[in-house]
Structure 1
Amino acid sequence: MEELSSWIAPIATALAACMTAANLGSRVTGWGFVVFTIGSVAWTTYGATTGQSNLLWQNLFLTAVNLVGVWRWLGRQARLDDGARAAAEKSERQDAPTLFAVSTLSGAPLLSRDGETIGSTVDAMARCHDGAIDYLVVGKGGVGGLGETLYALPWGRLTVEPDRVVTDADLDTLRPIDPKDWPARLDRRANLETGG
């Protein structure tokens, strides 16, 4: 048992860390916590069979934390995602404005009108007085946010579709924004287009 748990524990922990860090949606994150739970149970077993009480107690606690993560992402968040998806699908079939989940604006691929992935969505800035979205912040390049260049796209240049955002803007013609200092209004930054 000791040898088996000594293999399962680090492999499960490393795999789970990759799954949760990838931020690929509630279900992948939830399954990451399932794998974390397998890892923490294996570490608990290893701690118990080798007489390492600190490892045992730490991983008993982490097992409880991981089970909360499973409930949070595979239970609660997955249900909320399903509810948002159902509302969006129903709105497409009814004589009503088409809806989308605002969570789409964080982490969705940004596509050109030709269907080419040109970046990914980071966040959106909305006006307090009416809740309307003023602009979308998108990232291009880099790996895991490292070396990424951020741009602000006016909301009027975007179309939101299920699980993606489409634009007619060419990111290469836009002035990058400072990751620590986003604009209050796009029109104060000369429309962000170079030469304009």
Structure 2
Amino acid sequence: MEDVAGWIAPTATMIAAMMTAVNLGARVTGWGFVVFTIGSIAWSVVGLSSGQTNLLATNGFLTLVNLIGVWRWLGKQRAYEDGGKSATEASRRSAYPTLFTATGIAGMPVVDAGGETVGKAVEALVTCESGNVSYVVVASSGLGGIGEELRAVNRAQIDFACDRLNLRHPRAWFESLPPLAEGDWPAAPAELTRSDAR
């Protein structure tokens, strides 16, 4: 039993870590916590059978934490995502304007005027008073976030579609925008602050 648990524990832990790290939505993350739970139970068996009380105590606690993760991601968060998806689908079949969830912006491809993908949306910044989007932060280049550049694109320069964001300009215009400093985003996109200064 200890030998089997000794193989299951690290395998489940590694698989679960990958499932939660990629952030592919509530269901994948939730199932990642299910696999984490299997791993922590297997580590507890290893700790119990080998007399390592510290390993047993740690993974007993982690099993509880993982079960909370299952409840959070396969329960509540999944219900939120399902609700947003149902509203989006219902709006496409109705006479009302088509909807998409605000959280759905993150990860959407950003396409230039020629139809070429220039990056992906990271975040949309919304003004408190009006609730309107001020600008969208777009990540370009980089593999897995390494070497990527972030740029703030004025809302007026983007058309929102249900599955992508369309720039009204070519790639060269996008690349002429100054990259943002990490962790230091502006109060307004650069083109607005330049025009305000004139």
Pairwise CA distance, 1:75: 1.1
Q: Is the 8 A contact 2:99 2:162 kept in 1?
A: no
Q: Is the 8 A contact 2:150 2:180 kept in 1?
A: yes
Structure 1 partner of 2:59: 59
Counterpart of 2:186, as a letter, is P
What SS is found at the alignment partner of 2:150? strand
1:33-52 matched pairs, under 5 angstroms: 33-52=33-52
Counterpart of 1:66, as a letter, is N
1:1-196 matched pairs, under 5 angstroms: 1-112=1-112, 116-169=116-169, 170=171, 171-186=174-189, 187-189=192-194
Per mean C-alpha deviation after superposition, the further-off stretch among 162-171 and 21-30 is 162-171
Give me the CA root mean square deviation: 1.9
Q: Give per-residue Cα distances to partners, 1:67-112, cap 9 Å, x unaligned.
A: 1111111111111111011111112222222211000122333334
Return the alpha-carbon distance in structure 1 between the equivalents of residues 117 and 21 of structure 2: 21
Structure 1: unaligned runs, 5 residues or longer: 192-196
- Residues 6 and 183 of structure 1, relative CA distance in 2, 3 Å threshold: same
- Residues 173 and 184 of structure 1, relative CA distance in 2, 3 Å threshold: same
Q: How many residues in Structure 1 have an aligned counterpart in Structure 2?
A: 191
Q: Which runs of 4+ in 1 moved over 6 A?
A: none
What is the TM-score normalised by the length of structure 2?
0.88
Q: Give per-residue Cα distances to partners, 1:17-52, cap 9 Å, x unaligned.
A: 111111111111111111111111110111111111
What SS is found at the alignment partner of 2:183? coil
Return the alpha-carbon distance in structure 1 between the equivalents of residues 137 and 99 of structure 2: 20
What SS is found at the alignment partner of 2:121? strand
Counterpart of 1:161, as a letter, is A
Return the alpha-carbon distance in structure 2 between the equivalents of residues 2 and 115 of structure 1: 56
What is the TM-score normalised by the length of structure 1?
0.88
Return the alpha-carbon distance in structure 2 between the equivalents of residues 158 and 48 of structure 1: 58
Identity of aligned residues (%): 48
Return the alpha-carbon distance in structure 2 between the equivalents of residues 29 and 188 of structure 1: 39
Pairwise CA distance, 1:166: 3.2
Q: Is the 8 A contact 1:100 1:160 kept in 2?
A: no
- Residues 3 and 189 of structure 1, relative CA distance in 2, 3 Å threshold: farther
